[in-house]
Amino acid sequence: MPSFEVPDVDLSQYSMRELFAPPMAVLAVALLVIGAWVAVTGAPVNYGIEFTGGTELVVESDASQSEVTAAFEQDHDSIRSIGTGGNQYLITFQSEDQQSLNQQATDAGFEVVQSSSTDPTFGSSTQSLAVLGVGIAFLGMSGVVFLLFRTFVPSIAVVLSAFSDIVVPVALMNVLGIDLSLGTVAALLMLIGYSVDSDILLNNHVLRRSGGFWESVHRAMRTGVTMTVTSIVTMAVMTVVSYYFGIELLTDIGLVLVFGLTTDLMNTYMMNVTLLRWYKFEGVAR
Amino acid sequence: MSWLRENWRVAFLVVLLLASTVALFGPNVAGDEAAEASADRATNLQYGLELSGGTRLRAAVVGATAEGVDVTQDNEQAMERDVAEALSLESRDVQARIASNVVEVYSENSTDEVRGALDDLGYGYDTVRDGVTGETRETMRETIASKVGGAGFSGADVTTTETQTGERYIVVEVPGQNASQVRGLIAGRGEVELWAFYPENGNQTNATVLTREDLADISPPRVINERPSVPVVLTDQAAPRFAEDMRNYGFTTGNGISNCQYPEGGYCLLTVLDDEVVYDASMGSRLASSLEDGDDFTNDPRFFITANSMEEARELQVNLRAGALPAELDFQDSYFVSPSFAERYKPLSLVTGIAAAVAMALVVFLRYGDPRVAVPMVFTALSEVVILLGFAAVSGLALDLSHIAGFIAVIGTGVDDLVIIADEVMTKEIDSNRVFKSRFRKALWVIGAAAVTTIIAMSPLAVLSLGDLRGFAIVTILGVLIGVIITRPAYGDILRRLVTGQH
């Protein structure tokens, strides 16, 4: 039976700086992107219609994409063909006047099979709730991690890694033009829980087990990389399949998890390993 | 017995799997009729709007409330009248409540305008806030429920919710109907009145002659004299007053009968919905003579409210039955998916889930090569989903797309933990049960720690009113709990039997 092995990477041949710099650079770039977004658009992310208000329609029609958009007097934000039949279009509008949009679609002979609209004031209250939710989840996770390890450096390593695991996907979403939706917020929260798995595993092997530092890291890596790669593959398949079927919520969640878990691979085995190495070899001796 | 003590986790897992299978495919265990009707044929699972089609509307109630106003038996009515007059509203738009000392204004007036009116009138108050009282919202909820039910939309659900930021909403869910139908039904207050339209001193005048309070009985609409009509019976108090009004306005004179040229002139009985005239009728000769006599009408106070179409008559009847909403609704968001389109999501999301599970299984097989490790791993990860589905079937949880996302996320976290157990147990040759147990306990520490962080991270979503993502969070948390307590330890037991060769 064919099998893949987690590649043996000898991390000890690299200096601490060589291992620590790339994840920090990626984090810095991500923060820079988000900062630039705040400066230019006034918000750290592109909020979707659930947060800004607006309407999303799925219409069924044999007409072409340009004929579909021409049927509406309001400017559309985006349109794409979804589903397997090729005659369904998902269109989003800034306007929250769902009734008039529905009417225009019906008048043009399209069948509206799905529609959702959000009022801007309701959207902004959802937005503040979402920020609150992510904040509480992150603080809660940090609290649990500190309680579990009761030492500063290993705990802050986990928290820093989780922070980067959230920030990098958010920056990637901005660059790739993916709007923040309720689905992506759920995925970001999921990442907080998901990404600490491999970090906890690493800390546990290094701090609570007998054996040399590099041997422990090596064992944690074998397990951790398998875990994360399995999750990435599962989520990537879910993303692709659900995108093809036009199930937006699953695509959103899957994509953000793929970004975050990939970032986590780098953070755990470059940044966290280095922080633990410093703690084991220099921090404790001090 | 000792076998059971050693392998109770595996035994428990098997029992749970069997129970879940029965719950999913067996005769309906939930038993109630609603579940019976909405349950899918193939399984006992129930589906929410996103997967079965329908409309969900969320609306705030329009109005402002002054709190800490000294409302007494004596000044209640005067206060309502004064405030309404100051804000150029009708007196029904202002509600003073003695018990809670509040004055509600059911209009789009700003809180500043309400404060100004109260200041000018000299009524003291503590605060004026947007929104209405809980009593009003409850009345709204009941009225909307009775309208939606009266319109024949079955399975509808009307609830009031409050977000953590303090906003309160009314949520209306109606399976199978489209948004504009439902919206049309509850968009206005639904206040039906009968107005008399007649000449007075040379000018045409309107006067309200019947409101809902004047009706003792409202029958289903039918066609009477070739007109779609709602037959009603007036109350004993209203009947003589109505007859007197009709006589005073001249409807029973020769000029008043069969003489309606609305809106130019003549004598008309206007059917009015939310202050808009929907139908104008003229006085019939038979009714006129009965009203002229007075006693004749009072003894048998039957009357017809007429409309243009049966559909309109039905709407009038629904509105009359349920009564008018005290205030208007301000729609915040709406969601509609047609039943045929929603139905399509079921197989598609099932295929997505299966694709994700197959991908997971492939990676696990490629990584471990050894089917003795991989097969139970895939089996255990999937059994968590089966148990969750069984739980959903038993508890009557209405599944939506967010739950499906949760199931797939559970496969993901589940397999993570199984990899930890497998690697931990298999690092060196296992020669004794004791070594196995100590390794297994170490693995469980990591799994427990990871589970706690996942639960903590997802709990805000389970509590906060962030759309329908609550389902995702609840499924994920439940999945983690079932995994850590039952299925993942059971995998450890299975692995031990296979690896140490003990039976």
Indicate the residue of A192, A204, A253 with minimum beta-carbon distance to B445.
A204
- Tell me whether residue A96 is in a domain: yes
B2-51+338-500: CATH, from 3.30.1780.10, 1.20.1640.10, 3.30.479.30, 3.30.70.270: 1.20.1640.10
- Is A206 found in the same domain as A111? no
With a cut of 70, which residues of chain A have pLDDT below it?
1-6, 83-86, 283-286
- Give the integer Cα–Cα distance in Å for B98 and B71: 5
Give, in order, the Cα–Cα distances in Å from A136 to each of A51, A123, A132, A141: 19, 20, 6, 8
At residue A37, the pLDDT reads 93
Is A30 inside any structural domain? yes
CA-angle at B188, arms to B184 and B194, nearest 5°: 110
Q: Is B274 helix (H, G, I), strand (E, B) or coil?
A: coil
pLDDT the model gives residue A29: 96
**Residue A83: per-residue pLDDT:** 67
Q: Using DSSP, state whether A228 is helix, strand or coil.
A: helix
**What does DSSP say about strands B265-266 and B260-261: parallel, antiparallel, or unpaired?**
antiparallel
Domain that holds residue A108: 54-118
Asked if B2-51+338-500 and B63-130 have one fold, the answer is: no
CB B411 within 8 A of CB B385: yes
The answer, for B452 touching chain A at a CB cutoff of 8 Å, is: yes
Interchain proximity B180–A141, CB inside 8 Å: no
CA angle A50, A54, A58 (to 5 degrees): 90
Contact (Cβ atoms closer than 8 angstroms) between residue B457 and residue B409: no
User: Does A137 contact B458 at a Cβ distance shorter than 8 Å?
Assistant: yes
Q: What is the rounded distance in angstroms from the CA atom of residue A79 to the CA atom of residue A57?
A: 9
Q: Is B413 close to A197, i.e. CB distance below 8 A?
A: yes
d(CA B483, CA B479): 6
Q: Is A115 within 8 Å of B335 when comparing Cβ atoms?
A: yes
Co-location of A16 and A103 in the same domain: no
CA dihedral B313, B318, B320, B323 (to 10 degrees): -150
Instruction: Return the CATH fold of B192-322.
Output: Gyrase A; domain 2 (3.30.1360)
Question: Vertex B138, ends B132 and B139: CA angle to 5°?
Answer: 90
Domain check: are A60 and A32 in the same one?
Answer: no
Domain end residue (candidates: A71, A87, A118) = A118
Domain membership flag for residue A35: yes
Per-residue pLDDT tens digits of chain B, which is 503 residues long: 567 777 788 888 899 999 999 888 877 654 444 444 444 467 888 888 888 889 999 999 999 999 888 888 888 888 888 888 888 888 788 888 988 889 999 988 888 898 988 888 888 889 999 889 888 999 889 989 888 888 888 888 898 888 777 788 899 989 888 888 888 888 888 888 888 888 888 788 888 888 888 888 888 888 888 888 888 888 888 888 888 888 888 888 878 788 888 788 888 888 888 888 888 888 887 888 888 877 788 888 888 888 888 888 888 888 888 888 888 898 888 889 988 888 888 888 889 989 998 999 899 889 888 888 888 888 888 899 899 999 888 888 888 888 888 888 888 878 888 888 888 877 666 566 777 777 778 888 888 988 999 899 888 888 887 766 788 888 889 999 988 888 888 888 888 777 766 54
Residue A78: give its domain's CATH number. 3.30.70
Which 190-209 residues of chain A touch chain B by CB within 8 A?
190, 192-194, 196-197, 200-201, 204, 208-209
pLDDT digits (tens, 9 = 90+) for A57-97: 888 888 888 888 888 888 888 888 876 666 888 888 888 78
Q: Is A129's CB within 8 Å of B58's CB?
A: no
Yes or no: domain B63-130 corresponds to CATH 3.30.70.100? yes
Q: Provide the shortest C-alpha distance from residue B213 to chain A (in Å).
A: 33
| Two structure tokens written together for B395 | 């508890």
8 Å CB contact between B396 and B35: yes
Alpha helical stretches, state H, B187-281: 238-249
Could you tell me if residue A5 is inside a domain?
A: no
Q: How far is B474 from chain A (nearest CA, A)?
A: 12
Given a contact cutoff of 8 angstroms between Cβ atoms, the answer to whether B94 and B103 are in contact is yes
**What pLDDT does A30 receive?**
95
Give the dihedral sign, CA A82/A83/A84/A89: negative
A 215-274 residues with CB < 8 A to B: 219, 222-223, 226-231, 233-238, 241-242, 245, 247, 249-250, 253, 257
> Is residue A182 within 8 angstroms of chain B, CB to CB?
yes
* Same domain (yes/no): A267, A236: yes
- Cis preceding linkage at A120, omega within 30: no
For residue B35, the model assigns a pLDDT of 46
Domain count, chain A: 2
Q: Is A186 on the interface with B (CB under 8 A)?
A: yes
Residue A286 lies in a domain: no
Q: Which of A93, A118, A143 is the last residue of a domain?
A: A118
Token pair of B437, please?
Answer: 């147990």
What does the domain layout of chain B look like in residue ranges?
Answer: 2-51+338-500, 63-130, 136-185, 192-322
- Are both A179 and A212 inside the same structural domain? yes
DSSP symbols for B227-249: EEEEEEEE-TTHHHHHHHHHHHH
Answer yes or no: do A261 and A171 share one domain.
yes
Residue A172 and residue A216 in one domain: yes
Q: Which of A118, A134, A165 is the last residue of a domain?
A: A118
Structure tokens at B31: 């038993």
Residues A82 and A146 occupy one common structural domain? no
Establish if A61 belongs to a structural domain: yes
Give the integer Cα–Cα distance in Å for B196 and B262: 11
Q: Which of B365, B416, B425, B488 to mutate to test the interface with A (most CBs of A within 10 A)?
A: B416
Query: Quick check: is A2 in a domain?
Result: no
Q: Which of A61, A110, A148, A189 would best serve as a mutation to test chain B binding (most B beta carbons within 10 A)?
A: A189
- Please tell me the predicted confidence (pLDDT) of residue B34: 46
The DSSP annotation for B375-417 comes to: HHHHHHHHHHHHHHHHHHHHHT-EE-HHHHHHHHHHHHHHHHH
Residue A144 and residue A227 in one domain? yes
Domain match, A128 and A97 both: no
What is the per-residue pLDDT for B359?
A: 92
Query: Strands B329-337, A111-118: parallel, antiparallel or unpaired by DSSP?
Result: antiparallel
Top residue of B52, B438, B456, B464 to mutate, by most chain A CBs within 10 Å, is B456
Question: What local confidence, expressed as pLDDT, does residue B501 receive?
Answer: 62
Residue A239 belongs to some domain of the structure: yes
- Say whether both A150 and A232 belong to one domain: yes
In angstroms, the Cα distances linking A133 to A191, A220, B463 are 13, 31, 9
Strand, helix or coil for residue B162: strand
Residue with tokens 């599944």, as numbered in its chain: B399
Same domain, A114 and A135: no
Q: Going by DSSP bridges, is the β-strand pair B46-47/B398-399 parallel, antiparallel, or unpaired?
A: parallel
